[in-house]
Amino acid sequence: MASAVRPAPAELAEQVAAEQRRRGLLRGPATRIGGLWLLLALVVVAAGLSVAVGTRAVDLGTVWHALTDSSATGDDVVVIRELRVPRTVLGILVGLSLGVAGALMQGHTRNPLGDPGLLGVAAGASAAVVGAIFLLGITTPSGYVWFAFLGALLGSVAVFLIGSSGRGGATPVSLALAGAALSALLYALIRTVLITDQQTLDSFRFWVVGSLAGRDSAVAWQVLPFVVVGLVLAMVNAPALNLLGMGEDVARGLGQHVLLARVTGITAITLLTGAATAACGPIGFVGLVVPHIARAITGPDHRWLVPYSGLLGVVLLLVADVVGRVVVRPGELQVGIVLALVGAPFFIALVRRRRLVAL
Amino acid sequence: MTSTITTRGPGVRTDRRRTVRVGPFSGVVRTRQLLLPVVALVVLVLVSAVSLGRGDYPIGLGDVLRTLVGLGDPTQQFIVTELRAPRIVVGVLVGLALGLSGALIQTFARNPLASPDTLGINAGASAAAVGVIVLGGGSGAAAGLLGGLGLPLAALLGGLLVALLIFALAWRGGVDGYRLVLVGVGLSAVGFALVDWLLTRSDITEAAAATVWLTGSLNARTWDQAWPLGLALAVLLPVALALSRQLGVLQFGDDTARALGVRVGATQAVVVLVSVALAAAAVAAAGPVQFVALVVPQVAVRLAGGSRPPLLASALLGAVLVVGADLLARTVLPVALPVGIVTAVVGAPYLLWLLVRGRRSITA
């Protein structure tokens, strides 16, 4: 056993100062747990908004009535129970999935551009949906779910196999490159179909924007098991990500099974983004933005980063969905569009203002 | 510039490199890096000549070459120089511009995923162009606009505007590659969200026309598209090549580069501006031919060796990819597909194969 080399005192002080800069806004377990409770409260507020606000004006009394009194009837009650509550539930699931998957993805690739879409998930799902529309004539969102999920699964498995088959194994760079290459290939095939067949384009263009609208409550139940398993795997994976962040060799030296951690992480990312994409179409911005915000709050410790990212994802998605319902009444702006329009300036402001917390 | 001895993999094996000494000067001769541009140029000329000969009225390779030096008969002269040459020339120029642009931006950002695509130029150009197609009136007007100057100009302005915005937003007493890429990703998301939204709002025939443009195509390109792009390249290519040495030094990090006498801020600004202008000009001419700027520098660095994408080789290989893909699209496939589809279908598996077979990971 080699003994660790002790740094000189001046060097040590410098390291401590650098470490403190990296730690983020909230330090210490107590404040961070407090922060989680605050976020949970924000989630409740956002969910409340999502149920109460919409194209059809429903007063708060009726909303409360519809939620608590099972004997309530009327058009408003139907709107709340059949449309807004399932939509909100779906929003929570999808936001949670995308936020957590984004944190894992950036942790595994150690790339600030590590969007879950990079693993070929969105491209795989899109290709499968185009295939379903073009070959089988399926045109409803709930009809797409299994195809999208299967496509997402195949896409990310293919990327992982290709990325890890080189001599260096599954390095972050090779994974990201494999994902980019496979995505480009799949999008080329998708474009081929879209150019030659207008009817497919007509259905596909409404799926690909990413929306929570028009999904019945069955969709949430269909994707729920995958989300739950994905979240559990993500929490299991979080401590390992902290070790992997120091480099694979160090992680191995500290007793971490690197391949096991990678496989767990990729599985969780696949399940979560696959479920989210299957439910609403590709929604890009959450997985990219949220981990950066979370990292600014908690610093790089993934045991905190993962839950914070999940809850922030929910808040972001629900608020964006509500905004989309309000801004262009009586129509609606799809949540994917709103996220880009609202999320991007926020993201850019964050990138500009803060010293970016290093990965 | 770089160390003369590198170790590869387990078991130390030194790379024997030829050195040349002339008086007090000495340097390393990297055969592959010198040969690659030459080979690429030869392949490019051959592919272009073959492409000029192919079509509804086939012309032999010899006749094509004779026509190019002004000795062909009038019919062949007309077909080659007026009908086919603009398309090929636009293809070559677009490939050169995209390959070079990608190599510059990947070297600068030290990120293999950085390309004009991720920097928002394509997003801005696409949003502007689709806006012109969708909002520019009915389907007839859109079809008229596709051939006219309105669309390329809109795309050029859209691309440059977004790029400028990105540069301005990323500027904080200097441009950090990391910040630039992140801002670019943010604005790209906005651009493509706008495109998706416009597509859901539009008439289906307009959406179809927009989809073709979004794929990148060389159909019906004339000398009108070739001249501006050619001028842009004539100015920017020498600038880029002149920056080659500074780019190499920048690989060591900003502080080291500064210590070695490179004006870091100015160099970075010029690199980014050149890359952006090249990409925007290419997009204006042919639409976003995706994947060329992303994959070609990575292919070039793997073929040539070295630590970063070689500039000239990347440009030439980009041209080979675009012209070759266009040739494939016109001759082999049963349906005439836009060139953008073929560049991806040909380029992507090649990158995948290189990754699978890959000897080592490349970080820049």
User: Residue holding tokens 């096991």?
Assistant: A260
Cα separation, A265 vs B322, whole angstroms? 37
Cα separation, B281 vs B86, whole angstroms? 16
C-alpha B76: how far from chain center:
31
Compute the nearest-CA separation of A292 from chain B (Å): 11
Instruction: For the beta carbon of residue B78, count every other beta carbon within 10 angstroms.
Output: 13
Per-residue pLDDT of B118-128, as tens digits, reads 677 888 888 88
Encoded tokens for B117: 């695509």
Nearest chain B residue to A161 by CA: give it.
B356
Check CB contact under 8 Å for A177 and B290: no
Compute the nearest-CA separation of A359 from chain B (Å): 12
Write the DSSP symbol of residue B4: S
Among B294, B342, B358, select the one facing A166 at the smallest CB separation.
Answer: B358
Q: Is residue B203 less than 8 Å (CB to CB) from chain A?
A: no
Cα separation, B295 vs B297, whole angstroms? 6
Instruction: Count the residues in chain B.
Output: 364
Nearest chain B residue to A183 by CA: give it.
B348
Compute the nearest-CA separation of A297 from chain B (Å): 19
pLDDT at A197 over 90: no
Question: Judged by CB atoms within 8 Å, which residues 110-129 of B form the interface with A?
Answer: 111-113, 118
**Residues near B318 by beta carbon (within 8 Å), at least 6 away in sequence:** B95, B96, B97, B98, B99, B100, B102, B292, B293, B296
Q: Is residue B323 less than 8 Å (CB to CB) from chain A?
A: no
Check CB contact under 8 Å for B193 and A341: yes
Q: Is residue B140 part of a domain?
A: yes
Q: Is residue B215 part of a domain?
A: yes
pLDDT at A172 over 70: no
CB pairs A-B closer than 8 Å: 166
Cα separation, A216 vs A211, whole angstroms? 13
**Alpha-carbon dihedral B64, B70, B74, B80, rounded to 10 degrees:** 40
Per-residue pLDDT of A285-316, as tens digits, reads 788 888 888 888 888 888 888 999 999 999 99
Encoded tokens for B174: 């200097």
Check CB contact under 8 Å for A112 and B178: yes
How deeply is B77 buried, as exposed, middle or buried, from its count of CB atoms within 10 A (0-12, 13-18, 19+)? middle
Encoded tokens for A146: 């299994």
Cα separation, A338 vs A321, whole angstroms? 7
Cβ-based contacts of A176 with chain B (< 8 Å): 112-113
**The predicted structure's pLDDT at residue B364:** 36
Which residues sit opposite B27 in a β-bridge?
A: B20
Check CB contact under 8 Å for A284 and B189: yes
Largest separation between any pair of C-alpha atoms in chain B: 71
Per-residue pLDDT of A87-125, as tens digits, reads 888 999 999 999 999 888 888 877 666 676 667 788 898
Cα separation, A183 vs A169, whole angstroms? 20
Cα separation, B295 vs B285, whole angstroms? 20
CB B87 within 8 A of CB B218: yes
Mean pLDDT of chain B: 79
Among B179, B193, B200, select the one facing A205 at the smallest CB separation.
Answer: B200
Complete DSSP assignment for B217-234: --TT--HHHHHHHHHHHH
Q: How confident is the model at residue B73 (pLDDT cuts 50, 70, 90)?
A: confident
Q: Is residue B152 part of a domain?
A: yes
At residue A355's C-alpha, the angle toward residues A94 and A11, to 5°, is 120
Check CB contact under 8 Å for B189 and A189: no
Q: Which of B89, B331, B126 is nearest to B212 (CA)?
A: B126
Three-class SS state of A333: coil
CB B20 within 8 A of CB B29: yes
Among A168, A173, A205, select the one facing B207 at the smallest CB separation.
Answer: A205
Q: What are phi and psi of B20, to 5 degrees?
A: -120, 130
pTM of the model: 0.72
Q: Is residue B196 less than 8 Å (CB to CB) from chain A?
A: yes
Cα separation, A101 vs A112, whole angstroms? 14
- Please tell me which residue, A274 or A217, carries the higher pLDDT value: A274
**The predicted structure's pLDDT at residue B12:** 47
**The predicted structure's pLDDT at residue B98:** 92
Compute the nearest-CA separation of B212 from chain A (Å): 6
Per-residue pLDDT of B63-72, as tens digits, reads 777 877 777 7
Compute the nearest-CA separation of A225 from chain B (Å): 30
Check CB contact under 8 Å for A167 and B360: yes
Q: Is residue B300 part of a domain?
A: no
Q: Is residue B357 part of a domain?
A: no
Cβ-based contacts of B113 with chain A (< 8 Å): 111, 113, 118, 176-177, 180
At residue A274's C-alpha, the angle toward residues A270 and A276, to 5°, is 125
Check CB contact under 8 Å for A111 and B111: yes
Cα separation, A91 vs B281, whole angstroms? 41
**The predicted structure's pLDDT at residue B360:** 47
The CB-side HSE value for B55 (13 A sphere, CA atoms) comes to 19
Cβ-based contacts of A196 with chain B (< 8 Å): 335
User: Residue holding tokens 């007793």?
Assistant: A255
Check CB contact under 8 Å for A192 and B189: no
The CB-side HSE value for B130 (13 A sphere, CA atoms) comes to 30
Per-residue pLDDT of B147-173, as tens digits, reads 454 777 888 888 888 888 888 888 776
Nearest chain B residue to A343 by CA: give it.
B186
Helix axes B204-215, B121-135, angle to 10 degrees: 150
Compute the nearest-CA separation of A353 from chain B (Å): 10
User: Residue holding tokens 């120091």?
Assistant: A246
Considering its fold, how many domains does chain B have in total? 1
Nearest chain A residue to B335 by CA: give it.
A196
Cα separation, A78 vs B116, whole angstroms? 49
Q: Which of A87, A81, A7 is nearest to A322 (CA)?
A: A87
Per-domain residue ranges for chain A?
84-353
Three-class SS state of B204: helix
CATH code reported for the domain at A84-353:
1.10.3470.10
Among B179, B205, B344, select the one facing A351 at the smallest CB separation.
Answer: B179
Cβ-based contacts of B337 with chain A (< 8 Å): 192, 195
Mutation for testing the A interface, residue in B106, B178, B192, B361 having most A CBs under 10 Å: B361
User: Which amino acid is located at B341 in the chain?
Assistant: I
Q: What is the CA radius of gyration of chain B?
A: 21
Nearest chain A residue to B364 by CA: give it.
A173
Per-residue pLDDT of B306-333, as tens digits, reads 778 888 889 999 999 999 988 888 887 7
Q: How confident is the model at residue B3 (pLDDT cuts 50, 70, 90)?
A: very low
Per-residue pLDDT of A147-159, as tens digits, reads 888 898 888 888 8
- Domain at B283, CATH number: 1.10.3470.10
Which residues sit opposite B29 in a β-bridge?
A: B18
Compute the nearest-CA separation of B71 from chain A (Å): 40
Q: Is residue B176 part of a domain?
A: yes
Q: Is residue B244 part of a domain?
A: yes
CB B225 within 8 A of CB B152: yes
**Alpha-carbon dihedral A331, A336, A339, A344, rounded to 10 degrees:** -120
**The predicted structure's pLDDT at residue B138:** 45
Among B187, B290, B348, select the one facing A182 at the smallest CB separation.
Answer: B348
Q: How confident is the model at residue B174 (pLDDT cuts 50, 70, 90)?
A: low
Q: How confident is the model at residue B209 (pLDDT cuts 50, 70, 90)?
A: confident
Q: Is residue B345 less than 8 Å (CB to CB) from chain A?
A: yes
C-alpha distances out from residue B38 to B2, B304, B359, Å: 23, 12, 24
Which residues sit opposite B21 in a β-bridge?
A: B26
Q: How confident is the model at residue B87 (pLDDT cuts 50, 70, 90)?
A: confident
Full residue range of the structural domain in which residue B116 is found: 90-288
How deeply is A258 buried, as exposed, middle or buried, from its count of CB atoms within 10 A (0-12, 13-18, 19+)? middle
Compute the nearest-CA separation of A185 from chain B (Å): 5
Helices (H), chain B: 31-53, 61-68, 74-78, 85-109, 121-135, 139-147, 150-170, 177-201, 204-215, 223-242, 244-250, 254-259, 264-286, 292-304, 311-331, 339-357
